[in-house]
Amino acid sequence: MDGRRLLLVGTYTPDSDPPGEGEGMYRVWFDPETGEMTDGGVAARTPGPSFLAFHADPPTVYAVNERAEGTLTAFRVDGDASLAELGSVPTGGGSPCHVLDLGSSVGVANYANGTATVFALGADGTPQAGGRGFPHTGSGPVTDRQEGPHAHSLAVAPDGESLLVVDLGTDELRVHRAGEPAGAVALPPGTGPRHAVVAGEYVYVAGELDSRVHVLRWDGQAGTAEHLGSVHATGEEAAGTNFPGEVAAHGGYVYVSNRGADAVSTLAVRDGGARLEHVANTVVGAWPRNFAVVRGHRSEPDHLVVAAQNGDSLASLLIDPGTGVPADTGHRLEIPVPVCVLPVPINRIRRAGAPTE
């Protein structure tokens, strides 16, 4: 598609919980030279696809359907950027809010009951019913948000084997190895861990409730992590008024979206990864939630594409290769309640019916 990149955008819909004005998954074409975005229409109508994941072989997109009785839906991706629904399975809990491709399986985090569920995949990429559920118990000091476990996301630990369940309700990273619970990494009380990103031997965790980004060093031999410290997500104390969302590591920097400050913050990685230093805030729109790094062509800088949930728009930011700070390109695309941005490598997907080499 003339060098453009395909982005799929998840939204809240009238039949999701919470409800929204979206129509499902949207197709967006991104120009990596200019940062301009073009509306490609609705790609799939499915309830509340609030988080998306891509599986390469066969090319499949997974969407959690965030409702009281959660489901996970799979879609085949064709080379013309069309989606065909393959089927759905119950997630084993309510309000599923994150999905992660694990290669031969796919994992889902259910916020309402705190259960993480892992599904085996069929040969066609369809998740198989009856996934393995990992429930939990516990609570935290923020009584209106931490009355019980709330699995908010999943990540693969630096050892490549352990599955981490980021639990906002219990201030923990729950560790699972070989399909079995293997302890937990405690974070400071009231952290409210939401999302985590792994870079080398380090895990960076966005604290939704304390408005900080935490640094942990993974110990592969022990199968656990050491908490090294944290930094204010926006460069200043903002617990209770700012709520970090997505976190990503890219090119020697960590980026975090801030709902409240309505900005994406740039944190420089220091001391080989053991420390973060706040560098800048880039204002992007109302309530920025998920975002994605979109890589440029060989000599072009990379971009961040940010979903401003309450601003009903996507924002395109150009990452300065020298400073790491993303600058607003001014390009916006109106989409109702966007909450997830997923780059899909459409150039690697063979069109249905096309001859193979």
pLDDT in tens, 287-302: 999 999 999 877 778 9
Going by pLDDT thresholds of 50, 70 and 90, the confidence category of residue 77 is: very high
Whether the pLDDT of residue 212 is over 80: the answer is yes
Residues in the chain: 357
Q: How confident is the model at residue 94 (pLDDT cuts 50, 70, 90)?
A: very high
pLDDT tens for 243-260 read 999 999 999 999 999 999
Tokens 């198989």 -> residue: 128
Distances (CA, A) of 14 to 17, 69, 312, 342: 8, 15, 15, 22
In the structure encoding, which two tokens stand for residue 41, read together?
């229409």
Q: What is the CA radius of gyration of the chain?
A: 19
**Per-residue pLDDT for 123 more than 80?**
yes
- The pLDDT confidence band at residue 355, using thresholds 50, 70 and 90, is very low
Q: Is the pLDDT of residue 146 over 50?
A: yes
Number of other residues whose CB lies within 10 A of the CB of residue 7:
24
Reading the block at residue 10, the tokens are 């998840």
Read off the pLDDT of each residue in 152-158 and give the average, rounded to a whole number. Answer: 98
For the whole prediction, is pTM greater than 0.85? yes
User: Alpha-carbon distance 151 to 91, whole Å?
Assistant: 13
